[in-house]
Amino acid sequence: MSQKTVSVSVELIGCEYRFACRPSERDDLLEAARYLDERMREVRDCTSKLLSLEAVAVMAALNVSNELLRQRRLSSEADLLINRQVEDLLQKVDAALSKAEAEEL
């Protein structure tokens, strides 16, 4: 079964690109394009204006990839910390329940 798609036009540092996506993905695609456009403009503005569009895109892609990987690492570290804290709390609850049961006997 094929899903209906819509055509979406985005602009990245002055160049227009057209994409097809599901209607439910349209807003996410537009948000991603705005973010990428910002990153590409930052790269272009911080480097030589003579860089090709391809070079700007590759540099922006590397920056975005680096951000993603950094966030994944931070998220993994946070998950580990939270899991340890939950385990500690469960042990404390188990100990408190065991103590309460022992005192009832």
pLDDT confidence of residue 18? 97
**Which residue from 83, 82, 84, 47 is spatially nearest to 63, judged by alpha carbons?**
47
So what's the pLDDT on residue 2?
61
Torsion sign across C-alpha atoms 48, 67, 9, 3: positive
Q: What was the pLDDT predicted at 1?
A: 46
Distance CA 68, CA 3 (A): 29
Which portions of the chain are predicted below pLDDT 50?
Answer: 1
